[in-house]
Amino acid sequence: MNYFSTRDKSLKFSFKDIFLRGLAPDGGLFLPSEIKKYNQNEIQNLGKLSYSELATEIIFNFCKKDIERIKLKSLIEKAYDNFNNKEVVELKKIGNINLLELYHGPTLAFKDIAMQVIGNMYDYLQVANKKKVNIIVATSGDTGSAAISALNDRKNINVFVLHPHNKISNIQRKIMTTIGSNNIYNIAVKGSFDDCQKIVKDMFNENEFREKINMSGVNSINWARIICQIVYYFYTVLKFNNKKMNFSVPTGNFGDIYAGYIAKKMGLNINKLIIATNENDILQRVINTGEYKPDQVKTSFSPSMDIQVASNFERLLFNIVGEDDKRVSLLMQDLSSKGFFKLSKEEQEIIKKDFCAEKINNKDTLSLIEETNSKLNFILDPHTATAVGAAKKINDLSNTIVLGTAHPYKFLDTIKIATGQEVEKPIQLSQIQDKKEKFDIIENSNSEVKSYILSKIQ
Ligand SMILES: *Cc1c(COP(=O)(O)O)cnc(C)c1O
* Per-residue model confidence as pLDDT tens digits over 371-385: 999 999 999 999 999
The domain limits of the chain are: 90-105+223-419
Nearest ligand 1 atom to the CA of 142 is: 15
pLDDT tens digits, one per residue of 153-167: 888 999 999 999 999
Per cent of the chain over pLDDT 70 is: 100
The bridge status of strand 440-442 relative to strand 184-189 is: parallel
pLDDT greater than 70 at residue 128: no
| CB distance 210 to 135 below 8 Å | no
In this structure, of 12-21, 314-323, 431-440, the range with the lowest mean pLDDT score is: 431-440
CA distances 399 to 177, 335, 390, Å, are 40, 36, 13
Q: Tell me which residue has its CA closest to atom 1 in ligand 1.
A: 304
Radius of gyration of the chain (CA): 20
Angle at 264 between CA 262 and CA 269, to 5 degrees: 155
- Write the single-letter amino acid at 185: Y
Q: Tell me which residue has its CA closest to atom 8 in ligand 1.
A: 253
pLDDT of residue 428: 85
pLDDT tens digits, one per residue of 204-233: 889 899 999 999 999 889 999 999 999 999
pLDDT greater than 70 at residue 98: yes
Q: How big is the chain, counted in residues?
A: 458
Nearest to 321 by CA among 20, 31, 2: 31
- CA 89 to ligand 1 centroid distance, Å: 16
What's the CATH fold of domain 90-105+223-419? Rossmann fold (3.40.50)
> What are the residue numbers of the active site?
111
> CB under 6 Å to ligand 1: residues?
109, 111, 142, 220, 250-256, 304-305, 383, 405-406
Nearest ligand 1 atom to the CA of 405 is: 13
Nearest ligand 1 atom to the CA of 251 is: 9
